[in-house]
Structure 1
């Protein structure tokens, strides 16, 4: 059913999925440390993350662009282009993120206030936010480096670096929050310094694997001439629509949360519980995205349209299997709600149960959108199609329908849940249409032209 390409897919996908699960697990432990400081600390971290996560998700799309171009260069056997693309992507990511962090650091307090933080909460959150901002460039650099390594078929390296960094984050964060082993007791800010320590270590490890004595690539970059402008232009051509997609996705999620909050605290809490549990099962399929990027990109670099098409088809089919399997496991997780959340109340658990069952039923659709929108369409240089699908799905279908069903027809939380189903269905139809339109020979010809301009 899946052809010989399945082994290659699993070899790349399993470490990437394991890395995502590791990150989720340690993030959960870090959240428990913050929760021990009280509700104000939790709210302060939440307000800070509203900004830092949007910045990270948006700027990290440079990693997707770099991964695609490196995979194509590797497929073409052009080691110099691999080095040039890697160095240029890392320098571009550093410049953009450092500029953004500088601005946000200067205006940290007004930014938090603009998000709606009360004066007391903004006072608590500002020191944490300023330290957390220092980690944004490091996280983006790690994402870019990790994408390059997966395209070079070294997925275990970023997995190992993430494991070590996450462990350091929790250990140092706990020590600084509590003042363990003679270290200063810094409270909430200690958690931010712990996260920063982990990110520094991750960048150092990835840098050593990339550029050390036995590194994967020699240092290189494209310069500032015509060749450099051509490479940066191609990176931005692939990355900017994906960045806009991330902004649209983040904005859409915020509006859905506002709708749910209007329906009541219990409704919002119940859906948030469902979303938290769903994340564990969705990331189990997320490794298919870098696998698609690497394998399809290599086929494009080799000039083999048939191989690119076949690998895209196999990744899509395997995504159907993982969507069904992990969707079923997600549905079964509802049985653990009383044990996991005994203190939230029966009404919240009932909302969470409904949300889990609805989202589990369409997880196969969500995974299909993840694979096509995150891997196949960008690998075919159709990042515009990804933006169209996400924007139309959320702002033309999902959000208007959520408002109409939840408040116009009085369906409440069921209106929002059904609207989100309609959004995913709209996206899967658009992504499938765009994927069907991909002309791999044209993609290969365009890549050859970019390569010639960069030489």
Structure 2
């Protein structure tokens, strides 16, 4: 990439040789944190509501959610790639091109959503069987997944729209939309599951409806901004194809990370219905905290992309140092809460004593990993913001290989019926997280990712 001749707009937080001021990071990270916490509340609410239907529906929800999240999160490049690309263009002073890039991303998201919805609905029973759902959980899993697939176009459009707004340094709008949607989703799901008597199908239907409503709100907001900026709203097939091509490496990165999550669900299912139900709750809590930690990563994507687009690599270095420290401290805090508050929140998710007993040691392991995860998410966001997607792709493939090797050792050493099997699985997750930390920290120490200007 070539250095930008335009240093970009001046910012309140600019300091010679330094990074972003704390208040500038917080202005992006805190609203992003609120939005990110609100989004997984959809699934946590489903877990709490469906969990009181019994262990089998809860285990079915866990398997279906893993399949659905795979279909959605393999396309998370729609948010991450868009954030980085839009932020670079904004830093280079070309807001119109930044908006156009985001509009292309939304069209791409809708097209991918339609394709994935058709595939997911058609193969729902096969997918949940492949993921190792127990016979008792399969009907619930297939029902939830089949209905939820109808919301995939809206879900992916939300990803792309959120990425555009973050790249424009706006994390407040996603916070407002996600917070309102989380409240409406909880009320709607409870009403559909219990008073309406739809069971797990009601939970899926409520979430689909709310996700599509979110997409409609985002499209309206972005269409207004595009018109004000003189940006076309009609689709440009060539630009949409370029957007997909530019994000291929991020797609590979995300696919590799999803393999580890799916393999973990499959392993938990092989340990039995109780283990799968406990793993479902632990995974939902883990992903909620991971997304909370991702608030710093999102701030990193937006700030790093903007400052590299403006040709300010020395400012990026200062920002990274500060945010890595914050990531570690935030991880310590979330770990303490996750560990100490177990007696308070576990009963909210299940009344099954066997599931509770299996869950307690797993959550202790998850709590210990949180400080490492805090740094991992920040560094991941830094490299995404720097458009270092090729390295991230290969690093993710390598770390997933570490996880699969650890899983093979676990299954060879610990019987599937052992009460320690599920806890052992989470120690393998810990090894995977440490492997990611090693790879990302090694890369961050180099300068090869500090490429300035607009070259995407």
TM-score range, shorter chain: 0.7 to 0.9
Consecutive unaligned residues of structure 2, counting only runs of 5 or more, are: 1-17
Partner of 2:374: 367
Partner of 1:432: 441
Partner of 2:412: 407
In 2, Cα distance between equivalents of 1:151 and 1:321: 25
How far apart are 1:318 and its partner, in Å?
A: 1.5
Partner of 1:317: 325
Partner of 2:300: 292
In 2, Cα distance between equivalents of 1:224 and 1:154: 25
In 2, Cα distance between equivalents of 1:57 and 1:363: 21
How far apart are 1:162 and its partner, in Å?
A: 1.2
Picking from 61, 66, 70, the partner of 1:54 is 70
Counterpart contact for 2:297–2:377, Cα < 8 Å: yes
Report SS of the residue matched to 1:212.
helix
In 2, Cα distance between equivalents of 1:262 and 1:118: 8
How far apart are 1:371 and its partner, in Å?
A: 1.5
How far apart are 1:36 and its partner, in Å?
A: 5.1
In 2, Cα distance between equivalents of 1:303 and 1:324: 34
In 1, Cα distance between equivalents of 2:274 and 2:51: 20
How far apart are 1:244 and its partner, in Å?
A: 2.3
1:200-211 pair list within 5 angstroms: 200-211=212-223
In 1, Cα distance between equivalents of 2:43 and 2:218: 20
Structure with more of its chain in helix, by fraction: 1
Distance 1:4 1:32, change over 3 A: closer
Distance 1:401 1:200, change over 3 A: closer
Counterpart contact for 2:134–2:272, Cα < 8 Å: no
In 2, Cα distance between equivalents of 1:111 and 1:21: 28
The higher relative CO (CA closer than 8 Å, separation ≥ 6) is in 2
How far apart are 1:76 and its partner, in Å?
A: 1.3
Report SS of the residue matched to 2:169.
coil
2:362 maps to 1:355 = yes
Picking from 152, 162, 174, the partner of 2:190 is 174
Counterpart contact for 2:91–2:305, Cα < 8 Å: yes
Distance 1:235 1:312, change over 3 A: farther
Picking from 6, 25, 50, the partner of 2:41 is 25
Distance 1:371 1:218, change over 3 A: farther
> What do residues 329-351 of structure 1 show as CA deviations (whole Å, max 9, x unaligned)?
22222454775578444x76565
How far apart are 1:271 and its partner, in Å?
A: 5.0
Partner of 2:392: 386
Partner of 2:428: 419
Report SS of the residue matched to 1:59.
coil
Picking from 259, 282, 288, the partner of 1:251 is 259
Partner of 2:94: 78
TM-score where L is the length of structure 2: 0.82
Partner of 2:312: 304
2:389 maps to 1:377 = no
In 2, Cα distance between equivalents of 1:143 and 1:355: 30
- Give the total of aligned pairs: 435
